[in-house]
Amino acid sequence: MRFPQSFGLAIACLSSATLLHAQEAGDHVIFISADGMRPDSVDVLGPEKAPTFHRLREEGAWTSNARTDVVYTVTLPNHTAMVTSRGVTGPEGHNWIKNSDPMLGQNLHKNHKGYLSSVFAVAHDNGLSTALYASKSKFKLYDISYDDRTGEPDTTGEDNGRDKLDRYVMESETDALVDQLVADLTSDPTDFTMLHLRDPDSAGHAEGWDLTPGSPYLQAVAKVDKLVGRVLAAVEENPALKDHTWIVLTADHGGLTATKGHGEAKESDNYIIPFYVWGPGVPAGKDLYALSSGSRLDPGTTNPPYESPKPPVRNGDAGNLILNLLGLPAIPGSTINAKQDLLVVEKRDVPIPPDPAAAR
């Protein structure tokens, strides 16, 4: 049965008026981690050499003063914080402190001595498709932790199976990795997609996190800007994705010029990272701390402990933010953004939790 076109349009308008974007079917999130990206590199590069990052800032909500984990400023512990929305250490932490390829038979749950849910698990259990495009081999940690043996049975609604990661692509050449992602975004996009780009970290270890114009490090950040630009173009060229896709971008750590490293968690240049959110309903050019002033506090130059009543924006916010954008609940057992109170859209139908500080 076919309706006249105007009837279909009326239905479409009605549904978009009664539903917030976050609850609409067909929404997508692309989560990008730029490994070792210092937020100040974007300022030094300027809009000409980093047009995409500047576009994300102009059209989205962002901060150049987000934080890593408190104790660790290295890659796998922080990426595990992003996907589980937990800190690294302590009984509620995810406890993955290694930063190399996982040993045979190891996985997140075995190491934690208990199942660790994640953004992949919650999205998949709720019927969404998931993908991870990684540029370092150690990211197989997530593939082996959420496969058809290690993933928990799906008890949410329809059974979508134990393998929570539908697509895992590892390619250390990030141009080729993004070629693959762009092809998939064009023909068969997943609902939740994570992309890891290693270039700033690789350049930083080779020549230092050097902000001198023309440095290998800045060139690597500019390359990531181009790659993210290709992802944005692919989103805008696919009618199924355009206006239905959020981009969330952050980093696992910054880095130092002097040591060509980033392991010292007390160094502000290691723990200060960017956090950008772009997409439908996200106000243009807004400071994330201003949008979430009831629940987040700009930490100045410190990296406050997890117990702080008003925490900073952290890379660990990402997992639960992504689920919130997709209209899904927080990750079971998570501790960062567990109330999903990092606000990136100005209008939402979920009541904002009361400010614990104001009650005292």
Binding stretches for Zn ion (CB under 5 A): 201
Residues in the chain: 360
We find the least distance from the C-beta atom of residue 32 to Zn ion, in angstroms, to be 17
Kind of pairing, strands 61-67 and 272-278? antiparallel
DSSP states along 55-78: HHHHHSEEEEEEE--SS--SHHHH
Q: How many contiguous H segments (helices) and E segments (strands) does the chain have?
A: 14, 8
We find the least distance from the C-beta atom of residue 61 to Zn ion, in angstroms, to be 27
- Can you tell me which residue has the tokens 């690294």? 88
We find the least distance from the C-beta atom of residue 320 to Zn ion, in angstroms, to be 25
Q: Which residues pair with 66 in a beta bridge?
A: 273
Q: Edge to edge, what strands does the sheet with 192-197 contain? A: 167-170, 130-134, 192-197, 28-34, 245-250, 272-278, 61-67, 286-287
Give CA–CA dist 360/356, Å, rounded.
7
Residue 66 phi/psi, 5-degree rounding, is -85, 175
Residue 201 or 341 with smaller CB distance to Zn ion: 201
Residue 201 or 267 with smaller CB distance to Zn ion: 201
Give CA–CA dist 199/210, Å, rounded.
14
Q: Which residues does 352 contact at the CB level (< 8 Å), separation at least 6? A: 294, 295, 341, 343
Residue 201 or 269 with smaller CB distance to Zn ion: 201
Residue nearest to Zn ion (CB): 201
Q: Where are the beta strands (DSSP E) in 261-338?
A: 272-278, 286-287
We find the least distance from the C-beta atom of residue 192 to Zn ion, in angstroms, to be 25
Residue 189 or 204 with smaller CB distance to Zn ion: 204
Residue 252 or 317 with smaller CB distance to Zn ion: 252
We find the least distance from the C-beta atom of residue 317 to Zn ion, in angstroms, to be 22
Residue 72 or 278 with smaller CB distance to Zn ion: 72
Q: Please report how the helices 216-237 and 174-187 are oriented relative to each other, as an axis angle in degrees rounded to 10.
A: 10
We find the least distance from the C-beta atom of residue 290 to Zn ion, in angstroms, to be 31
We find the least distance from the C-beta atom of residue 103 to Zn ion, in angstroms, to be 20
